[in-house]
Homo-oligomer: A and B are copies of this chain.
Amino acid sequence: MYTIGQVAEMFDLPVSTLRYYDKQGLFPELERTSGIRRFGDTELEALRVIECLKKAGVEIKDIRLFMEWCAEGPSTYPKRKAMFEERKAHMESEIANMNRALDMLKFKCWYYEQAIQDGNEDRVKALIPDNLPEEIKDTYDNAHTQ
């Protein structure tokens, strides 16, 4: 069993954030002794899941839902799995989006490299979109589809 301060240090989070998570219902099984929060294995595992779900872009209220399902027992396995499946699909499309944005950035880097060499944008502008060199053509195409 750990105090809020110890957990804050372990997870490198401010104490205020842990209190906030608690208030949002993210630790439904959290115990207290004379008012003081006592974090156990359940809460540490919850925090690991919270880190994962936050990275996956899940809102606090949906994380709370998940934690409530965990407290409810095996009958909620399908719901929990469905939540992860939905997030997985969402994340995959996010990553695809970001890869397109990344290609735009790569193209812009290349573009300004040319502009710096030429001292102006005239030549490089004239290359777009049909006379780009092979080295950058795919990147451009990928960045500008959809």
Contact = CB atoms under 8 A, between A and B. Distances in A.
Contacts of A98: 55, 91, 94-95, 98
Given A74-B115, A77-B115, A80-B112, A101 B91 contact: yes
Q: How large is the interface on A (under 10, 10 to 19, 20 to 34, 35 or more residues)?
A: 20 to 34
B109 A102 contact: no
B84 A105 contact: yes
Interface string A77-95: 1101100110110011011
A91 to B, nearest CB: 5
Contact of A113 (B81, B88, B94): B81
A119 B75 CA distance: 9
Contact of A101 (B52, B102, B115): B52
Interface string A125-145: 000000000000000000000
Given A52-B108, A91-B98, 8 more contacts: A55-B98, A56-B102, A74-B115, A77-B115, A77-B116, A81-B109, A88-B102, A98-B98
